[in-house]
Amino acid sequence: MNDELLKLGSHTFGSRLILGTGKFSDTETMIRAVEASGTELVTVALRRFNRDKPNDDLCAPLAKLSAVRLMPNTSGAINAKEAVRAAQLGRELSGSPFVKVEIHPNPHHLMPDPVETYFAAKELAADGFLVLPYIPADPVLAKKLEDVGCAAVMPLGAAIGSGGGLSTLEMIKLIIRDSNIPVIVDAGLRAPSEAACAMEMGCAAVLVNSAIAAAQDPVAMAEAFALGVQTGFEARQAGLMLQSEFAVATSPLTSFLS
């Protein structure tokens, strides 16, 4: 076993940074950011596939990158039925076994629907997909999704596009503690330091979009996130010093016991 690699199903990845592809100012910037990030897995919304108009299509330019695998996502779907249909069309169009199940019935806050996500993930996993569900940071839901055969779980750090960082930190720690599949923080990250923090906690990878696409220099920020992820991962491997909230007294309080 090689601990350096991220494993999703039978697939391995050298990079532990996954990129989202919406929100970029143009396709060229997106491609350059993807390349600078060193990512080997990118997610593309089916709603942004456009075979009728090549310059409005996010899928084809990414499919040309030999180092990168595509993971269609079902953003736009509001229930399990729609997500399943979207996943099937995404697989047909991209040829990828991966799907990011993303079901947010409220188009404003974009919070994932735990109930519909569970049913869609269950059906798609049974159908042979490598399912990576985008979920609220809920430790019970995470285990249930593991039980139905998901390849990973992707709890949110904060709302999509919010830059809220790891506001669900305590819940993510619980998810990691009990999970037998990779835990990937998806959404909310703003700074590479937060990506490092997620990796130090034991996340298997992080997924970033807005923080890179909406940065002043998306390409440089993509590279910075790659470094942040790598730093956090190496720190985790190195074993962090134990944290103690008590200073060790020079004259021990329990000296009377001897």
Partner 1 sequence: MKTTLPEWIDPAPWLAREYRVVDVEHAIGTESPDESTLAALLSPAAAEFLEPMAARAQAITRRHFGQTIQLYIPLYLSSYCSNGCAYCGFASDRHTDRHTLPFDAVEKELDSIKTMGFEEILLLTGERSSRADIDYLRTCVRLAADRFHTVAIEVFPMEQDEYHMLAEAGCVSVTMYQETYDPEPYDRMHRWGPKKDFFNRLDAPARALAGGLRFAGLGALLGLADPYHDMIALYRHTRHLQKTYWQAGVSLSFPRIRHEAGGFTAPHPVDEKMLAQIIFAFRICLPDVPLTLSTREGAPFRDGIAGIGINKMSIASRTTVGGYSGNAPEEGQFDINDGRSLETFQAMLHGKNLEPVFKNWEKLYRLTA
Residue 12 binding partner 1, by CB under 8 A: no
Task: With contacts defined by CB under 8 A, name the span among 42-50, 62-70, 196-204, 227-235 that binds partner 1.
Answer: 42-50
Check if 7 is active-site: no
Q: Going by C-beta distance under 8 Å and a sequence separation of 6 or more, which residues neighbour residue 12?
A: 2, 5, 6
Distance, in Å, from the CA atom of 230 to the CA atom of 247, rounded to the nearest integer, reads 31
* Cβ–Cβ < 8 Å for 36, 77: no
Distance, in Å, from the CA atom of 131 to the CA atom of 21, rounded to the nearest integer, reads 19
Among candidate residues 7, 100, 122, 143, the one labeled active-site is: 100
Exposure of 193 by Cβ count < 10 A (0-12 exposed, 13-18 middle, 19+ buried)? middle
Distance, in Å, from the CA atom of 20 to the CA atom of 79, rounded to the nearest integer, reads 21
Task: With contacts defined by CB under 8 A, name the span among 19-27, 35-43, 180-188, 236-244 that binds partner 1.
Answer: 19-27
Residues 62-81 close enough to bind partner 1 by CB under 8 A:
76-78
Task: With contacts defined by CB under 8 A, name the span among 141-149, 161-169, 192-200, 234-242 that binds partner 1.
Answer: 161-169
Residue 60 binding partner 1, by CB under 8 A: no
Residue 56 binding partner 1, by CB under 8 A: yes
- Residues in binding contact with partner 1, number by CB under 8 A: 33
The minimum distance between CB 158 and partner 1, in angstroms, equals: 11
Which one among 42, 62, 70, 86 touches partner 1, defined by CB under 8 A? 86
Residue 206 binding partner 1, by CB under 8 A: no
Which one among 16, 22, 118, 123 touches partner 1, defined by CB under 8 A? 22
Residue 107 binding partner 1, by CB under 8 A: yes
Which one among 35, 161, 171, 202 touches partner 1, defined by CB under 8 A? 161
Q: Which residues bind to partner 1, rule: CB under 8 A?
A: 22-27, 46-50, 52-53, 56, 76-78, 82, 85-86, 89, 105-110, 161-163, 210, 213-214
| Catalytic residue numbers, as ranges | 100
